[in-house]
């Protein structure tokens, strides 16, 4: 169904997984969609398959974000932050405690950069282009509440950032929310770290008896981006099959 007013939608991390699923839903609704990310190849594939616009840049790099503005729409109705993931950094380069701590610091900086700074910089760059009543949705994680090292801490920081943004942008009718998935398959998130035993344990923690899908998450994102969700803001909304209850 084509909406009465075509919206301009930007999705960071839109080349794979949840970002791609979000792009597909918005494109099917007739919206104009821009997908961004660091890797050109998956973005080009999404652009070809869905008829959206692809733009490659590192959303954690201030200079690249500033340059990308020339290729993004002058007004934005929906901004979805899917960029992020687990930082896979190399271990210590040499023996000793200093090298070990340097590796720890590198991992934590990388997690913050990928999961928090990407949302912070892109939102700051586009804040003046967000229309009255725009929607901002960030993808968090169940790890923010269950604990998962640098990744969980970064997603918890994203939740705190969203509260501040909701307060700052609320007078313009703009909502800011976080969607917090649990186990979600058909993404690049786990890489080669998902063993059968680990999957069985995570599925057993759900009340639905199954893993989530990117489209499960995208469905919630599109609702929060809709006009009907105008009074929902500063919230963390889980989509995890009951593995963790919202309180």
Beta bridge partners of 10: 34, 79
Structure tokens at 212: 């989530």
The active-site residue out of 57, 151, 161, 189 is: 151
By CB atoms closer than 10 A (0-12, 13-18, 19+), residue 42 is buried
CB atoms within 10 A of CB 124: 12
159: annotated active-site residue: no
The dihedral built from the CA positions of residue 98, 104, 110 and 112, taken in this order, carries a sign that is negative
Q: Which residues share a beta bridge with 178?
A: 138, 236
- What would the two tokens of residue 66 be? 């500033």
Task: Give me the active site residues, please.
Answer: 151
């Amino acid at each position: 169904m084509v909406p009465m007013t075509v919206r301009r939608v930007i999705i960071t991390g839109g080349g794979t997984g949840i970002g791609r699923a979000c792009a597909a839903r918005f494109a099917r609704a007739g919206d104009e969609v821009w997908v961004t990310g660091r890797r050109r190849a998956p973005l080009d594939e999404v652009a070809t398959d869905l008829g959206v616009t692809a733009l490659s840049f590192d959303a954690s790099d201030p200079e690249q974000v500033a340059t990308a503005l020339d290729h993004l729409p002058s007004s934005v109705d929906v901004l979805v932050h899917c960029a992020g993931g687990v930082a896979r950094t190399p271990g210590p380069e040499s023996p000793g405690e200093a090298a070990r701590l340097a590796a720890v610091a590198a991992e934590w900086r990388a997690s913050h950069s990928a999961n928090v700074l990407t949302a912070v910089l892109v939102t700051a760059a586009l804040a003046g282009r967000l229309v009255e009543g725009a929607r901002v949705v960030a993808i968090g994680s169940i790890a923010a509440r269950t604990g998962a090292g640098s990744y969980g801490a970064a997603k918890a920081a994203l939740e705190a950032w969203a509260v501040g943004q909701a307060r700052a942008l609320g007078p313009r009718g703009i909502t800011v929310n976080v969607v917090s998935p649990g186990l979600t398959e058909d993404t690049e998130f786990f890489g080669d770290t998902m063993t059968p035993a680990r999957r069985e344990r995570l599925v057993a923690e759900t009340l639905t008896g199954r893993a989530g899908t990117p489209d499960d998450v995208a469905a919630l994102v599109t609702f929060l981006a809709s006009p009907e969700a105008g009074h929902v803001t500063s919230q963390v909304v889980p989509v995890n099959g009951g593995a963790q209850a919202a309180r």
